A and B are shown apart, each in its own frame.
Chain A
Amino acid sequence: MSGDEPLVAIRRLSKVYVRGDQVIPVLVDINLDVARGDYVALMGPSGSGKSTLLNLVAGIDKPTSGEIRVAGVDIARLSDADLAAWRAAHVGFVFQFYNLMPVLDAFANVELPLLLTSLSRRERRERVETALALVGLTDRIEHYPNELSGGQQQRVAIARALVTDPTLIVADEPTGDLDRTTGGEVLGLLDRLNRELGKTILMVTHDPKAAEKAHRLIHLEKGVLAD
């Protein structure tokens, strides 16, 4: 694989929902490249298909037609089981509502994706501690999600997303549930992940402040790219 090949290469990607005899096109003939190390913000009105596109790239949804190559693999063709293993190895997720396990403390939440690796208990501990230190939550390691503020929960989620050292981090409105200050902290973190750790980030956002940090802005309008 050559170094200048894009990390994500989307070709003629379409997604339609069929309800009865009604066909709802959500994404229409999308072509998009994302370079390795890029930080892309995906913007557009509500219902324009941003989350759908992000989910397809992250491998948690399947396209109706087209290709999604990530690091050379056409993930649209993988079986469900292979796709699950691929996600575990290559994708870090940051959700709008954090999606932490309420019964697990910060440490265990971050450790969760590492259970799918062959790392030893000690190696897992080291990685979790490093990730939590990076998001500045070393002192909250034994706190449960309901004992943390929204911003802190999102930082735990970011630690969970980076602990497996993924190829790609996807974030769907990561500041959508946060106030301006804590939202700013989260954006600062994503920025550091991109600049200092070289992580490729694909982020859906409404927030112009969030979009500012990105290297590249992409607009979706009714399922069509308009940049």
Chain B
Amino acid sequence: MDYVRLINCMRCGMCLPSCPTYKETCLETASPRGRVALVRKIQEGQLLESERLLHYLSLCLDCQACASACPCGVNPGELVADFTCERKERDGLGFMEEVILRHLLPHPDRLEASVAPLRLYQKIGLQRVVRKLGIMKVFPEPIERMESLLPALPRRPLRQEIMEVTAAEGSEKGRIGFFLGCVMSLVFTDASRATVRLLSSLGYTVITPKSQVCCGAPNMLGGDKKGLEEAARTNIDVFNQLDVDFIVTDCGGCGAELKKYKKNAELEGSEKFSSKVRDISEILSLHSEELSKKFRPLPMKVTYHDPCHIAHCQGIRAEPRKLLRIVPGLEFSELEAADSCCGSGGNYNITRPEMAEMILDRKLETIRKSGADVVVTGNPGCLLQLKEGLSRQMPEVRLMHLTELLVQSLDA
């Protein structure tokens, strides 16, 4: 690891108020400043890579709020992630990590097949029975947690149903390659359908190549750099072959990862690929004038939760708000600390459930205070996490992906 990136932290503490885990604990070990110091001390040979130290580091959500807050340009979350990658490169992946990251995620068919039993489990009513009987209590906590996060699954993953080419409505104004996130395709198919619909209504031909694979973000999260590079290689080749103006995704996590491909200079074509990547809100807000004419009134009280991967990783804050504000009749109110993590953090809510829950509770409280009846966001991780929390505490509040709401206004 590049030592200068570590000593660049001047320990001013500007990151402290932004860090969700510091806010909960007020402990320096759970702060970005502290994490950089811990990694630095390992490099300097002053601390051992103990289990406890790794446990401290694993409390990081990699939400990157600290990177947004840091005036010195240090990115503590990324430093921790890079450290984990280097460690795994040296020590190898764990058995389950190997199975999931190398043998499941890179193969959409296998991934989809693996979800099928879950769908069946829900469909035949087993989920209700299991939940009622509390059977999950006998499983290890992570599995119980995973089960509770699972919303109703669609009949089939979108990847299997969507057409490779969706024609532009009217004359073609541009061409877009659609990057279909795994979770969006498996769980939030309606939102991704809405995305395609909005794009085509604006005159874009939408091409969704079926040979695309997972963006590799889970690999990065698991410290599997090689897996990430393989995923990137495939996606770059698939999309660079297409004649498209933009590569669009409606998954904040994918967008952040795809934009980062270009950081890896050894991946040929990554610059071309990443420079075309856009979050859906970026494209739609280019057409806000046209959309504002098309939108019909939606009398709702709406607030917006900034996904970390959209606000902190991609710096996109204004666009989604601009789009919500042009929906007639919609009453928009800001969420307090809107860009503070909801506790989802990739698989964080499974690996560190207690912390994730405290962070989620704080978020739910701000939602309650906002008085909104609809919460909008743009990332499937947040959708899963918030859905679980809202259904438990505020079932009357609806949760929607940005495109789901906008398409309603289009069709209203």
Q: A and B, one complex? A: no
Q: Report which B residues bind A (CB closer than 8 A).
A: none
